[in-house]
Chain A
Amino acid sequence: MSKVLKINGELYTVETQDEMPLLWAIRDIVGLTGTKFGCGVAQCGACSILVDGNLIKSCSMPVSYGIGKEIFTIEGSSDNLEYLREAWNEVNVPQCGYCQSGQLIAATALLNKNTNPTDDDINNAMSDNICRCGTYVRIRKAIHKAVELRNQDVS
């Protein structure tokens, strides 16, 4: 039952059942706790990660799904994630912060596919992620801000 997961470029050997959700393998076995448990049934997005660039609810995909693939979590870094972090900072987005790992990963997935999302694009892309504190207005603003920051760097 020993298998290798590649998370944020690092290799981790884990001993788990194949059907254990990636979320729990990442949190309880690997020990990266930035990815959060919120609902366990792919309803809230707190556990969002990227697997080979695809946005995944890690609570509902088995660990076997991640083998041999590139897993990206909130502990990782990418250009878009860094712009988003800066924008989150500028807009002072978080309240309790718990859902923000998932929000940032979902926003990263959005910017990876869409270089200049509209409000509608953001509403569509981000509606899988619940924020009980209600920071949606700021998240929306911060995603636009991240695009602005990236465009400033490019020009």
Chain B
Amino acid sequence: MSKIHKVNRRDFIKLFGLASSGIILGCNLSSDQKDFIPKLDGVFSPNLFVQINNDGKVILISSRSEMGQGIKTSLTSAIADELEADWNYIEVKQATGDSKYGNQNTDGSRSVRTRLEPMRKIGATAKMMLITAASKIWDVSEDECFAKNHFIYHSKTNRKLFYGDLVDEASKVALPSESSLKLKEVKDFNYIGKTLKSIDLKDFTHGTAKYGIDIRIPNMKFAAIQRCPVTFGKVKSFDSSFAEEIPGVEKVIKLDRIVPPTGQFFGALGGVAVVANNTWAAFQGKLDLNIDWDYGENHLFDTNDFKKTISQRISKKGKLIPGSRGNVSSSFKNAEKVIEATYHVPFLVHAPMEVPNATAWYQDNKIEVWAPLQDPQTARAELAYFFDIPIENITINVTFLGGGFGRKSKSDFVVEAVSISKEIKAPVQVVWSREDDIKHSFYHATSAQYLKASLDQDLNVSGWLQRVAMPSIVSSFKPMSDYASGLELNQGFTNNPYKLDNFRLENVKAESNLRIGWMRSVVHIHSGFGNNSFVDELAFAANIDPVKFHLNLIGNDRVVKGKSKYPYDSRRMKDVLLKTAEISKWGQSLAKNEGMGIAIHYSFYSYVATAVKVSVVNDNLKIKNIWTTIDCGLALNKDNIKNQLEGAAVFGMSLAMFGKITAVEGAVEQNNFFDYQMVRMKDAPNIHIEIMDKMNEKPTGVGEPGVPVIAPAICNAIFNVTGKRIRSLPLIDEGII
């Protein structure tokens, strides 16, 4: 439950400055269940604010990080809606990283899911106080007053008072109880469920949006770090004489690896840092270092060997996973047909357009940081832990993120910046080169899957066996975690959208020799690819249209109850599939070289189906059209949701066509966008997005659910036209591009 507080005056002044008078509201929000990372328990105190100034300006705080998903506009629009505010008066400020704002971890497609209702309550509270204030001024009953477009009206006399003119009186009003709040009905929404353009468009189109890399503070230095090519290797010795001759280079320092304690934080890799008075000199200096490395235990890691290893392992029995049910052995024995296949997804990297970077100033037992961070509270706790500074002495300013995709959930680059600032006693900006970003990330894990299923005499799926080998994200927090965790398998493996009475899921060993992290859609990329590719194979074996086969496999209408607040509803899954079939004109006659493929997935509590139309001529692939339908419950900001799903389609295309990180002798081979390629304008298809009208349902995820369907839908379309089954990504390695 949320509690609403009046905010401590000092917090208020710190955040807004002293200039304006106004009323201000804070709301104590309950914490999220963390999916992956154990964290220090924070103290949650007043955190999210509404300020109304006497000129009518309304300043709202965005407590989640803006990385392109549009949260800064979307969540604050929910406050504004309940507040009956005129959007033209709205200004949004970004919160610093602080537990008083509630959980700020911008991850897991959950900001709207977990924050929409609290935001609405904040807005409704402010509105009630303004109504009370106006009723006092007019000496009338509150029941006779209502709010509309930045005014409170008295319905009997048609008098009205502007919000700005109510701030003094409203400041004297006691906070209403949460139970007295009346939230608006769907039909009365002004902004929720509509389209609001990004509030930052002007800055985005004038180069004035400040990302982490744009931070400039007086006398700051710039630093680049040469890290060991092999994960967790150490500096034995180094010669910096050439680097130090470069004009602009001021200092070269050794950074020890900062090892995180088991179960939390990210630490930093260490290496040799070149400090300079501009970024380029630091980059040049880094390349001129001569470092003798102790490569450590990961130096034999080879991704080709590893692929073979896990592919062999999945041919044998693994650990049985809870959720398995029925008896697949007897299903296979009594089958009309048995089909089996193995699938492979390589390591991937996020490669946000803005490289990891952080600006830090360590001085007088205090730390101030400016950085593009998805999880500023973990960064703050991490700095308090590693540098032994009281957490209240650490300020984390969250800038715009030039893309995040999970990379900027990890605060290793902040730890690096603080380490250097402490050493050089000056503010410093650490900037990763693109090569650093590609070679030293927290990688999206590789996977191998073995699937085996039986079709009975009616060509229904009677048994389903799935073995998964995948290095675990947990390995980044707890060494020797050699199996995927339950939380990872719960991303599309244990909870696939199908009705399977005989289902066996097995977990197969896969150790980690790179830092493993999470990337947009996380394990759903593996489950979405394996499940949908295999279902397409089964449909082909059964000689049944894939859409019809999927519908059969989703099964009867049912709501899978459990502990979740978001029970899986098979009807909603079927409806998005049928909608996608409709908008894509599934079943249409296709040109000779054209094919279509379909995929469905349930992730972040949202239902998604995608159809793809391709042409393949002499192994030259052209993805012509992508149609995606999402049921994300209440759709907060419609055009933003469409933009997210268009982007998800392109993100999915990039990983399907090009995405692959390989390592030889422990070192990542790829360097930059020439060998870790992205989809470009010339590859971009027509993309059609449909949002199911579910305004009375709870909002569910948007940022990630559009990705997992894309690769399998493309591969299924390729099969449809060529008869060639793609079971290992990326396509460029399969000769179809």
Binding site for B on A (CB under 8 A): 16-17, 20-21, 24, 27-29, 31-41, 43-44, 46, 73-75, 84-85, 88-89, 92, 94-101, 104, 122-124, 126-140
Q: Known A-B contacts: A75-B207, A97-B400. Give 5 more (CB < 8 A).
A: A38-B353, A38-B354, A38-B434, A132-B405, A132-B678
Q: A28, B280: Cβ atoms under 8 Å?
A: yes
A43 touches B673 (CB 8 A): yes
What residues of B have a CB within 8 angstroms of the CB of A32 in the complex? 207
Cβ–Cβ contact A40 & B647, under 8 A: no
Contact with A37, one of B203, B279, B647 (Cβ below 8 angstroms) = B279
A97 to B404, CA, bound (A): 12
- With known contacts A38-B353, A40-B283, A134–B647 Cβ distance under 8 A: yes
Task: Check B70–A89 contact: CB distance below 8 A.
Answer: no
- B646 contacts A132, C-beta separation under 8 Å: no
**Cβ contact within 8 Å between B205 and A92:** no
A92 is contacted by which of B211, B400, B639 (Cβ under 8 Å)?
B639
Nearest-Cβ distance from residue A89 to partner chain B, whole angstroms: 5
Task: Tell me the bound Cα distance from A132 to B408 in angstroms.
Answer: 14
A18 CB, min distance to chain B CBs, angstroms? 11
Chain A residues with CB under 8 A of B207: 32-35, 73-75, 101
B213 (CB) vs chain A CBs: closest residue: A37
Nearest-neighbor residue (CB-CB) of B210 within chain A: A33
Is the beta-carbon distance between B400 and A96 smaller than 8 angstroms? yes
Complex Cα distance A106/B311, Å? Answer: 45
Closest-by-CB residue of A relative to B433 is: A40
Q: Does B216 contact A (CB under 8 A)?
A: yes
The residues of B that contact A100 with a CB separation of less than 8 Å are: 204-205
The chain A residue with its CB closest to the CB of B644 is A95
For the complex, what is the distance from the CA of A101 to the CA of B205, rounded to whole Å?
6
CA of A31 to CA of B673, assembled, Å: 26
A127–B679 CA distance with the chains assembled, in angstroms: 9
Taking a contact as CB atoms under 8 Å apart, the answer to whether B684 and A140 are in contact is yes
Q: Which 4 A-B pairs have the closest CB atoms?
A: A34-B207, A134-B650, A98-B402, A96-B68
- A129 to B682, alpha carbons, bound, how many Å? 10
B167 at the interface (CB under 8 A from A): no
B206 lies within 8 A of A131 (CB): no
Task: Across the interface, name the chain B residue whose C-beta is closest to A105.
Answer: B207
Q: List 10 A-B contacts (CB under 8 A).
A: A33-B216, A39-B673, A88-B201, A96-B66, A96-B400, A97-B203, A97-B204, A123-B682, A134-B650, A136-B650
Residue B200 is within 8 A (CB to CB) of chain A in the complex: yes
CB closest chain-B residue, reference A86: B205
Q: Mark B342-370, 1 if CB is under 8 A from A, else 0.
A: 00000000011111000000000000000
Q: Please report the C-alpha to C-alpha distance between residue A99 and residue B207 in the assembled complex, in whole angstroms.
A: 10
- Contact present for B280 and A123 (CB under 8 Å): no
CB–CB B682/A124 < 8 A: yes
Q: Do A96 and B672 touch (CB < 8 A)?
A: no
Q: How far is the CA of A36 from the CA of B279 in the complex (A)?
A: 12
B421, CB-defined interface residue at 8 Å: no
On whether the beta carbons of B433 and A132 are closer than 8 Å, the reply is no
**Closest A-chain residue to B246, C-beta based?**
A17
Which B residues lie within 8 Å of A131 (CB)?
A: 353, 650
- How many angstroms from the CA of A132 to the CA of B213 in the assembled complex? 17
Residue B19 is within 8 A (CB to CB) of chain A in the complex: no
A44 to B207, CA, bound (A): 17
For the complex, give the distance between the alpha carbons of A140 and B209 in Å.
22
CA distance A85 to B208 in the complex (A): 13
Which of B68, B280, B654, B678 counts the most A-chain CB atoms under 10 A from its CB? B280
Assuming the A-B contacts A17-B247, A85-B205, are A130 and B650 also in contact, with contact meaning beta carbons closer than 8 angstroms in the complex?
Answer: no
Residues in B whose Cβ lies below 8 Å from that of A16 = 278
Interchain CB contact under 8 A, A89 and B197? yes
Does residue B686 face the partner (Cβ distance < 8 Å to A)?
yes
| Candidates A27, A73, A137; contact of B684 at CB < 8 Å | A137
- For A89, what are the chain B residues with a Cβ–Cβ distance below 8 Å? 197, 201-202, 205
The residues of A that contact B681 with a CB separation of less than 8 Å are 122-123, 126-127, 129, 136, 139-140
Q: Indicate if B269 sits at the interface (CB-CB under 8 A).
A: no
A46 to B673 CA separation, bound complex (whole angstroms):
12
The answer to whether B354 and A36 touch across the interface, beta carbons within 8 angstroms, is yes
| Residue pair B651, A37 in contact (C-beta under 8 Å) | no
How many whole Å from B707's CB to the nearest CB in chain A? Answer: 10
A40 to chain B, nearest CB (A): 6
What CA separation (Å) do A39 and B354 show in the bound complex?
A: 9
User: A residues within 8 A CB of B643?
Assistant: 92, 95, 135, 138
Query: In the complex, what's the smallest C-beta–C-beta distance from A88 to chain B, in angstroms?
Result: 5
| A98-B353 contact given A24-B278, A24-B280, A85-B205, CB 8 Å threshold | yes
